[in-house]
Homo-oligomer: A and B are copies of this chain.
Amino acid sequence: MTKIDDVARLAGVSTATVSRALRGLPTVSQATRDRVLAAAAQLGYAASPSASRLAGGKTGAVAVVVPRITRWFFATVVEAAEEALHRGGYDLLLHNLGGSETERQRLLYTAALHKRVDALMLVATPLQGPDLHAVTSLALPGVTVSSGTGVPGWPSIRIDDVAAARTATTHLIECGHRRIAHISGDPADELAFTTHIDRRRGYREALGAAGITPDPALDVEEEFTVAGGERAVAELLRRGTPPTAIFAACDEIAMGAMAGLRQAGLKVPADVSVIGIDDHDLAGVVGLTTVAQPAAEQGRLAANVLLTPLTGGDYPGEETVILPTRLIVRESTAPPRAN
């Protein structure tokens, strides 16, 4: 393996100069830089990251933490972040909690992040108490995406979940619905997401504004997955008179709900309207009305917010960037059946 000494020798300079030239530091004359670059190219030299990290104190990597990479929103955020990070010359260490508290413990208390990265991106991973302390004591710059609980000093990129939920619910109300069910976050969720809390709040606010009293029988807690949506519908039907509309806290739940309704012999939207939040890739396929959120943009923005200080720019510190959402009406919502 060729190392920096080989390049130095070939270029006729010191290793310090090779190091400076290769990293593009300004204090190298053009002629010297050219010579070093040529030598490095000729030898096919690339610095050893381990050695650079140890000597330089920078890892050149960013850790990205997501609850479940298999969910549309998280995969989309990661894809966009990955591109921005690599473009900026950073590696991306992926941590997928897989919905498991054990995994989260490992991440937080096992030195898994210790001196491995220069910055952190926490996607929908709210932290409190000792968990939060475990992260802040890393003393790294970071950014949260769609996290209910922000990290002190970190910027936060997200949408206004309350408003998005209000938009969704209001759309159903404007269609003429009054018996509007809601399916949202699982209280048994080990990771304690908070997104569903805000969405439920928006749901209630919209009902309230229309003078509709929230009916607990129409409010089901389930996980943010297709299977969760199916189970929730079964539960709703078990409880008695079905709603005429369902606001699902995310598109995966919504699509699961649509499937559940169909299995129960109910037609969407003739019998029951369904709306979600996300604008999942497949929302168009199943004709799902939804409140779209810019997932890729959140990932890209978050990556850039991290890249800026890492490359000498200013770290924004604690601030909140709220990205816009928009209602997309498809075929899953309609006025309730006249009766």
For this chain, the copies found in one complex come to 2
Cross-chain contact B83 with A98 (CB below 8 angstroms): yes
Cross-chain contact B69 with A82 (CB below 8 angstroms): yes
The verdict on A82 contacting B70 (CB below 8 Å), with A54-B51, A256-B285 known, is: no
Q: Check A319 for interface membership: any CB of B closer than 8 A.
A: no
Q: Check A337 for interface membership: any CB of B closer than 8 A.
A: no
Which single residue of chain B is at the shortest CB-CB distance from A76?
Answer: B70
**What size tier do the contact residues of chain A reach?**
35 or more
CA distance A49 to B75 in the complex (A): 28
Cross-chain contact A69 with B59 (CB below 8 angstroms): no
Measured between beta carbons, the chain B residues less than 8 angstroms from A181 are: none
Q: Check A38 for interface membership: any CB of B closer than 8 A.
A: no
Among the listed B46, B92, B95, B287, which residue makes an inter-chain contact with A86, where contact means beta carbons less than 8 Å apart? B95
CA distance A110 to B284 in the complex (A): 39
CA distance A204 to B149 in the complex (A): 55
Please give the distance in Å from A144's CB to the nearest CB on chain B. Answer: 19
Cross-chain contact B46 with A281 (CB below 8 angstroms): no
CA distance A112 to B285 in the complex (A): 38
Which residues in window 56-74 of A have CB below 8 A to B?
Answer: 59, 61, 64, 68-70, 72
Q: Check A14 for interface membership: any CB of B closer than 8 A.
A: no
Measured between beta carbons, the chain B residues less than 8 angstroms from A46 are: 111, 114-115
Q: Convert A286-305 into 0s and 1s, putting 1 for each residue whose CB lies closer than 8 angstroms to a CB of B.
A: 11000000000000000000
CA distance A142 to B95 in the complex (A): 21
Cross-chain contact A98 with B70 (CB below 8 angstroms): no
Among the listed B86, B103, B115, which residue makes an inter-chain contact with A50, where contact means beta carbons less than 8 Å apart? B115
Cross-chain contact A75 with B86 (CB below 8 angstroms): no
Measured between beta carbons, the chain B residues less than 8 angstroms from A50 are: 50, 53-54, 59, 115
CA distance A251 to B78 in the complex (A): 22
CA distance A51 to B115 in the complex (A): 10
Which residues in window 172-211 of A have CB below 8 A to B?
Answer: none
Measured between beta carbons, the chain B residues less than 8 angstroms from A103 are: 83, 86
Measured between beta carbons, the chain B residues less than 8 angstroms from A68 are: 79
Q: Check A235 for interface membership: any CB of B closer than 8 A.
A: no
CA distance A51 to B98 in the complex (A): 30
Q: Check A213 for interface membership: any CB of B closer than 8 A.
A: no
- Having A82-B98, A92-B93, A258-B285, one finds 7 other A-B pairs with CB under 8 Å, namely A70-B79, A78-B96, A82-B96, A225-B281, A226-B282, A259-B284, A286-B286
